[in-house]
Amino acid sequence: MTDIDLEDLREELLQCRRCGICRNAVYEAKGFDGICPIWRNTSGFEPSFMRGKIQIALALLDGTLERTSENAEAIYQCTLCGNCTQICGAEFHPAHVLETVRAVLEDIPNESRDRIAQGIQNMDNPYNEQLAMKRAWTADLEFEVPSAGRTLYFAGCTADLRSQEIAMNTARILKAAGENFFVMENEPCCGSVLLRTGKYDDAETNASKVAKIIESTGAERIVVSCAGCMKTLKNDFSEKFDIEIPEIVHIVEYAAKLIKEGRLNIKGYSEPVIVTYHDPCHIGRELDIYEAPREILKAIPGVVFVEMTPNRDAAICCGAGGGLRSYAPELSKKIAADRLSAVTRTGAKYLVSACPFCETNFKSGLDLVDSDIMTLDIVDLLASTKKE
C-alpha cells in the first residue's frame, strides 16, 4: 500500500485510549442499546469489539504479533458498521481506520477476501457469475429497459444477481415517475467489498474502470438501490481516489421526493400493517440518510410505522457488511437473527430496509428465529402499493 502512511495510521490507532464503551454501551437517553454486533453474538472476548481489534491491529503492524490468519481474525471479524464511531469520544473513526488496517495487512491470507476480489476482477461481480446475467432481470419486466439514456440505474451486483425483485421494483418506480432511465449492458461492480476487505489497490483500479464505463454512457445522473454502492460511488470514489462521477442519488431519496411532489400514486393497504425500518449502515451512519425512507413509509396509506430500538445513527448492523457475510457466514446470520429480535419487540409484520445486502442477510437470519416477520426492501413495499 503505497498511499498509506504507517506512522499516521499508528497515530490514528493510538487515539483509542481503551475506554471500552465501544463494547456494549447502553445509553437510553442518547438512543444506544448496545454497540458491537460481533461482541453480542460471539463468546465475547476482547478481540470481538473495537478496543481489542485496535490493540491487535497495533501489534500486527509493529510485528509484536505474528501476521497469521488466526491472529488477524479480529481484524476481519467486523462489519465496519461504525456504531463504535458513534459512541467513541476520541477524534477518529475506528471503523474507517480498521478498513485501512486491512489494506495494510493485505499480505495476511484470507480466502474469502481473495475469492471475492478474483470474482470482481474476472467477472465484474463478487458472486463469480457471468456479466451478462446481471441484466437478466430486465427481461422479466412488463416494459423494455433501454441500455442508454440520461439517468443510469446502477442496480449493483446483489440486486442484479441475488435480489432481482429489488432491481425490478426500482425500475418500476423510475418508470412510474416517467424517468428516462437506462441500465447498462455491462454494469461493473462498484468495488465496495474490495475496499471493505482491504483490497485497496484493486478497488482503485476498479474505480477508474467504473468511472470510465459510466462516462462512456453519457449518463447525467445515477440512481442506486444499494446502500453499499451508494457509499462507494458517492463518498469513496471522490474521497479515496479523487474520481468524480455524475450526481448520484439513492432510490429512497428519489422516491421520497416523488411522493412529496405528488408524482407517485400510492394505493396502500386497506387494513393497517405494522412496518418497521432498519437503517443500513452505508446510507445511515455514513451518509445521514435517515428521514427519506421514513417519509416514504409514513406516506403509504395503511402503514403503521414503528421504530425499532436502537435506530438511526445508533442502529445495530444487519451483520452482512465489511465482508463478514463471506468471512464468517454463520456469525453474520446470527447477527441478523439478533437484529430480528428487535423487530419482534415492535410487533411489526414487515421489516423494511433499503439495501439488498441487509435484506438478503435478514432472510438468512430468519432461519434461526421462530418468526413470521416478512423482510423486504423498501422498493418492494413501495412498488407493491403503487397504483397502476
Partner 1 sequence: MNSDIVDKLTTIVGIENISTREDVLLTYASSASMAKMPIKPGAVIRPKNVDEVKEILRIANAYKINVTVRSGGTSLQGEVIPHPDGLVIEMLRFNEITLFEDLRSVRVGAGVTYGELDKFLSQHGLWVPVTPESALGCTIAGNTAVNGAGPGSSLFGCTGDLILGLEVVLPISEVIQTGTEASPYAPGPFLRYAFGVDLTGLFIGSLGSLGVITSVSLKVFKRMEYFYYNTYGFETHEAAERFLIELKNWDVNAVFASIYEGPVLELFMEMLGDEYGIPPMEWPHRTVSMTIGRTREDMMQSDAVKANELCEELGGKILGIEELPKGEWDGRLWTFVRACYAHGWHWRTLYHHQTPMNSHRSVEEISKVMDKYGFLGHTAGFLTDHSSTNMYPHLYFDPVDSEDERKIVDAHDELAVTLFKTGAVPFKLAPFWKDKMDGTETYMALLEKLKNAIDPNDIMNKGVLGGI
CB of 66 to partner 1, least distance (A): 7
Told to check if 74 binds partner 1 by CB under 8 A, we report: yes
- Interface pick for partner 1 out of 15, 121, 346, 371 (rule CB under 8 A): 15
Least Å from the CB of residue 315 to partner 1: 17
If we measure between CA atoms, which residue out of 310, 290, 253, 332 comes closest to residue 80? 332
C-alpha distances in Å from residue 3, one per residue of 200, 204, 241, 282: 10, 11, 10, 24
Q: How far is the CB of 366 from partner 1 (least distance, A)?
A: 25
* Interactions with partner 1, residue window 43-72 (CB under 8 A): 43-47, 51-52, 55-56, 59, 64-66, 70-72
Number of H helices, E strands in the chain: 19, 10
Where does residue 174 rank: exposed (0-12), middle (13-18), buried (19+ CB within 10 A)?
buried
Q: Is 4 a residue that touches partner 1 (CB under 8 A)?
A: no
Q: Which of 2, 28, 261, 388 binds partner 1 (CB under 8 A)?
A: 28
CA distance 117 to 194: 6
Q: Which of residues 78-97 bind partner 1 (CB under 8 A)?
A: 87-91
CB 108, min distance to partner 1, A: 12
By CB under 8 A, name the one of 4, 6, 26, 133 that touches partner 1: 26
**SS3 for 82?**
coil
30 binds partner 1 (CB under 8 A): yes
Contact call for residue 107 and partner 1 (CB under 8 A): no
Distance between CA atoms of residues 113 and 108, nearest Å = 10
Per the listing, cell 473495537 goes with 50
Given candidates 9, 25, 80, 190, which one binds partner 1 under the rule CB under 8 A? 25
CA atoms of 55 and 167, how far apart (whole Å) = 41
Query: What are residue 114's phi and psi, to 5 degrees?
Result: -70, -35
Q: CA 100, CA 78: separation in Å to the nearest integer? A: 13
Distance between CA 88 and CA 82 in Å, rounded?
A: 10
Nearer to partner 1, 29 or 139 (CB): 29
Minimum distance, C-beta of residue 81 to partner 1, in the bound complex (Å)? 18
Pairing of strands 181-182, 151-154: parallel
Nearer to partner 1, 92 or 127 (CB): 92
Minimum CB distance to partner 1, residue 55 (Å) = 5
Q: Residue 54 or residue 195: which is nearer to partner 1 going by CB?
A: 54
Number of residues that bind partner 1 (CB under 8 A): 42
- Phi/psi for 82 (5° steps) reads 85, 5
140 binds partner 1 (CB under 8 A): no
Cα–Cα distance for residue pair 97/94, rounded to 1 Å: 5
Residue in the block written with cell 442484479:
160
What residue ranges bind partner 1 (CB under 8 A)? 10-11, 14-15, 17-21, 23-30, 32-33, 43-47, 51-52, 55-56, 59, 64-66, 70-74, 87-91
